[in-house]
Chains A and B, each alone.
Chain A
Amino acid sequence: MFQFIFKRIVQLIPILFIVSIITFSLSSFSAGDAARVLAEREYIRPNTKEIELVRVKYGLDKPLPVQYCNWLKKVFKGDFGNSYKNNKPVLGEMIYYFPNTVKLSLGAIIIVICISIPVGIISALKPNSIFDYVGRFFSFFSASVPSFWVGLILLYVLGAKLKFISVLGGRNQGILIPAFTMAFGMCGANIRLMKASITEVLNKGYMQAAKAKGISCIRLYCKHGLKNAILPILTKTGIMFSGFLCGASIIESIFSISGIGKYALDAVITKDVPVIQGYVMLMAVIVVVINLAVDILYSLIDPRIKVQ
C-alpha cells in the first residue's frame, strides 16, 4: 500500500515541475516589462536609470534559469510575490478567497450526487420506463446548455421576477442557486455514467449467483451492486471537483461571489501577473492532489488496481 502511494507521489513531481516552468514563463511572455511595472510602484515617473535599479534589486537582470530557481525557492516558502494592484501578498489573498470557492464547489458536488445517483439507479433498474426517458432527455439537454446561460436565466427568473434572490449578488445570497447552476451541466453526464455502470454490474455473473443464493434484495443491490458500480463514479467525482474549483470563475462572476476564480479573472483584466502565477500554481497543486487522493481511495476500495 505504502509503496503504491509512494510511487504515485513520485509520479507527481514531473507534472508539478512542468507546471511551474509554464507558470514562471508566463511572466517573461507577458507583454509589459516587469521591472517597469515594479518601478512604477516605487517611483512616480521612473526614468531608465531607476528602472534598471529596480531590475537589479529584484534580480530581473539575471539569466532566466537563475530567475526561475530564485522564483521556485520563494514559491516553496509560500511567497508568490505581491499583487501589482494593491501590493498585498498573493498567497494571503488567495487563502482569503479560496474557502468561498470550495464551499461553492462542494455544494455543486452534493447536488450532482443527490440528483444523478438516484436517477441513474432507477433508470438502470427500469430501462425504457418514463423515468428512464426523462433521465435520458435531461442528460442530453443539460450537456447542450451553457452553464453561464442557465445562471443568467435563474438570476432573471428567481431574482428579477420572483425576487427570491438579489440580482446584484453579494454576501447575503446563499450558495444554493450558484451551486445548482454549476451542477446543472454535470448532472447529465453523471446520470449517464451511473446508469451505464449499474447496468454493467447487474449483468455480471456474481450478481446472478448472489440472487440465486437467495440473499435479500437490499443486500444484493446495496452491498454487491452499488459497491461495484460506484467505482467509476468516484473517479469522475474527483475530476468533477477539480473541474468545479478551476472553472468557478464563470459562476462566481455571474453571481458576484468573491471566490478565487473571480479574483483570478479580475487579475486577468488588470494583467496582474503575480496573481495569475499564484492562481495557476495553486490550482495545479490542488488538481494533482485531488487526483492522488482519488487514486488512493480507489485502491482502498478496489485492491485489484494496485496490481496494475
Chain B
Amino acid sequence: MTKKILKQKGFIIGLAIVIFFILIAVFAPYIAPNNPLEMNISCKLQKPSSQYWLGTDNLGRCIASRIIWGARSTLLYSMTVLTAIVIVSIPIGLISGYVGGRTDAVIMRVIDIIMAIPSFMLVLAVAGTLGASARNMIIAMSSVWWAGYARIIRGMAIEVKQKDFILALKSAGCSHVKIITKHIFKNIAEPIIVLATLELGSIILAIASFSFIGLGAQPPTPEWGIMISDSKDYIQSQPQLMIYPGIAIIITVIGFNMLGEGLKNAFGRKLYE
C-alpha cells in the first residue's frame, strides 16, 4: 500500500506542501521576521527588504509575518471545523446506516432538511445576529456541513453491513456496539480520511471567503481572507497586497487537494462514488 501511494507524483507534491504549511503554522512565532500586528505608519507600503521580506501593508505591518501567522489561523480554524464535522457525522452516520428502520428514516429527514439550508446563509444569519467572529463562523459552518458527511458515512455503513463477515460476527454473538465501533468503523476509516483531506481544501476556501466579506475572523487578526479584504482599497496602486495572500491560499488548497486525490487513487476509487 505504501509503495502504491509513494509512486504518485501528485501525492508527494501535495504531501510536501501540506507538511510545509503545517510546519509554518506551528512554528510561526519563530519563523516570522516581525510582529504581525505591529503597525509602523512611517514605513507603510514599503518594497521588500531584508527586514520586511515581502514589504509592508497600508498600516506598515510586515506582509510576510502576517502571511506566516495567517497559516496558523487558517490551520486552526479549518482543523476545528473539520474535527467538529467528523465528530458529529461519524456516530450519526454509523448509527443511521447500521440500525436502519425508523431511526434511519428520522435521521435522514433531518439531514435532508439541513442540507436544504445553504451554509452561506446560515453563517450570514449567525453573524448578523450574534455578531461576526471566527468562533461564530466555525459554529455555523460545522452545524451545516456535518450533514452531507453523515449521509456519505451512512451509505458506506450500509454497504459494509451487508457483508458476510458482519453476519458471521453477529452469529458468533458479537455485540452491536462492538460491531459498529470496531468492525464497521475500521472498514470505512480509510475513505473517511480521504474525504476529510479532500474536504479541507474547500473548508479553507470557505473560511477565507467568509473572513474576506467580514463574516468570519475580524481584523486585525492575521488571516489570509482579511489581508485580501484590507488590500481592496489599494487595488490600483499596490496589487501585491492582494496577490501574496491569494497565492498562499491557492498553494495550500492545491496541496490538500493533491494529497486527497493521491490518497483516493491509492485506496481505490470505488468506495467513495
Query: What 1/0 flags go to A196-224 for Cβ under 8 Å of B?
Result: 00000000000000000000000000000
Docked-complex contact B209 and A148, CB < 8 angstroms = yes
**Closest CB in chain A relative to B44 CB, distance in Å:** 20
Docked-complex contact B209 and A26, CB < 8 angstroms = no
Please tell me the number of chain A residues within 8 Å of chain B, measured between CB atoms. 51
Docked-complex contact A250 and B212, CB < 8 angstroms = yes
Q: Across the interface, which residues of A come within 8 angstroms of B212, CB to CB?
A: 146, 148, 250
Q: Across the interface, which residues of B come within 8 angstroms of A148, CB to CB?
A: 208-209, 212-213, 225, 228
The reply to whether the CB of B54 lies closer than 8 angstroms to some CB of chain A is no
Of residues 14 to 51 in A, which have CB atoms within 8 Å of B's CB atoms? 14-15, 18-19, 22-23, 26-27, 29-31
Docked-complex contact B129 and A30, CB < 8 angstroms = yes
The reply to whether the CB of A67 lies closer than 8 angstroms to some CB of chain B is no
Docked-complex contact B201 and A144, CB < 8 angstroms = yes
Return the chain B residue nearest A248 by Cβ: B120
Query: What 1/0 flags go to B231-268 for Cβ under 8 Å of A?
Result: 11001100100110010011001100100000000000
The reply to whether the CB of A1 lies closer than 8 angstroms to some CB of chain B is no
Q: How far is the CA of A189 from the CA of B243 in the complex (A)?
A: 24
The reply to whether the CB of A55 lies closer than 8 angstroms to some CB of chain B is no
Q: How far is the CA of A253 from the CA of B229 in the complex (A)?
A: 11
**Closest CB in chain B relative to A85 CB, distance in Å:** 13
Q: Across the interface, which residues of B come within 8 angstroms of A15, CB to CB?
A: 112-113, 116
Q: Across the interface, which residues of B come within 8 angstroms of A243, CB to CB?
A: 118
Docked-complex contact B120 and A152, CB < 8 angstroms = no
Return the chain A residue nearest B255 by Cβ: A144
Q: How far is the CA of A167 from the CA of B202 in the complex (A)?
A: 28
Docked-complex contact B109 and A149, CB < 8 angstroms = no
Of residues 110 to 139 in B, which have CB atoms within 8 Å of A's CB atoms? 112-113, 116-118, 120-122, 124-125, 127-132
Docked-complex contact B239 and A29, CB < 8 angstroms = no
Docked-complex contact A167 and B132, CB < 8 angstroms = no
The reply to whether the CB of B205 lies closer than 8 angstroms to some CB of chain A is yes
The reply to whether the CB of A155 lies closer than 8 angstroms to some CB of chain B is yes
Docked-complex contact B228 and A152, CB < 8 angstroms = yes
Docked-complex contact A268 and B130, CB < 8 angstroms = no
Docked-complex contact A249 and B120, CB < 8 angstroms = yes
Q: How far is the CA of A237 from the CA of B227 in the complex (A)?
A: 33
Docked-complex contact B253 and A276, CB < 8 angstroms = no
Return the chain A residue nearest B261 by Cβ: A140
The reply to whether the CB of A291 lies closer than 8 angstroms to some CB of chain B is yes
- Given A148-B209, A250-B209: A156 and B131 within 8 A (CB)? no
The reply to whether the CB of B33 lies closer than 8 angstroms to some CB of chain A is no
Q: How far is the CA of A189 from the CA of B215 in the complex (A)?
A: 26
Query: What 1/0 flags go to A260-290 for Cβ under 8 Å of B?
Result: 0000110111011100100110011001100
Of residues 32 to 62 in B, which have CB atoms within 8 Å of A's CB atoms? none
State the B residues within 8 Å of A (CB): 109, 112-113, 116-118, 120-122, 124-125, 127-132, 201-202, 205, 208-209, 212-215, 225, 228, 231-232, 235-236, 239, 242-243, 246, 249-250, 253-254, 257
State the A residues within 8 Å of B (CB): 14-15, 18-19, 22-23, 26-27, 29-31, 140-141, 143-149, 152-153, 155-156, 159-160, 167, 242-243, 246-247, 249-250, 253-254, 264-265, 267-269, 271-273, 276, 279-280, 283-284, 287-288, 291
Q: Which 3 A-B pairs have the closest CB atoms?
A: A268-B128, A276-B128, A144-B253
